Amino acid sequence: MAQYAGKIDVESAKQFEADHFDVYLGEDHPGERSLCAHWEMESRPFQQWPTVPNNPVGTIDAKVVDAKMAKRMSFAARWGSACGTPFDAEKFLADHPQFDWLKDVLKSRRSEPWTEFVAGELR
């Protein structure tokens, strides 16, 4: 993070939100310890706290704001994972039948593009 000190802008914040680096493993590994929080992809859970492999939880959106945007009462957001990876509930349940008990409530999430929202603006 030292290289970003005083230089964080909206675009770099979006990249941070989409980060898959796992500091525990020291490698790119989308899972429970990455900022993008792909618990559903986590096959090697950290055993310090009780977790379940491939648990379908984690982030479902991403939001960033800077001082200029805050003054305009706006922010940028993305529905779905910050990295743009969609979640296919049907495929997930086929691959992980231990979660069949969620079949009536687990929904697919497609990924939407980053969009700026402004207070009072209707879209």
Owning domain of residue 21 = 13-118
Domain contains 98:
yes
Q: What is the pLDDT along the chain (123 residues), one digit of tens a residue?
A: 788 888 899 999 999 999 999 988 899 999 888 899 898 998 877 766 667 888 898 888 999 999 999 999 999 999 999 999 999 999 999 999 999 999 999 999 998 999 999 998 776
Domain annotation covers residue 1: no
Q: Is 4 within a domain? A: no
Q: How far is CA 84 from the centre of its chain?
A: 8
Residue 36 within a domain: yes
41 occurs within a structural domain: yes
| pTM greater than the 0.85 cutoff | no
* Alpha-carbon span 52 to 49, nearest angstrom: 10
Total domains in the fold of the chain = 1
Answer whether residue 5 is part of any domain. Answer: no
Tell me whether residue 97 is exposed, middle or buried, using C-beta atoms within 10 angstroms of its C-beta: 0 to 12, 13 to 18, 19 or more.
Answer: exposed
Contact criterion met (CB below 8 Å) for 119 and 74 = yes
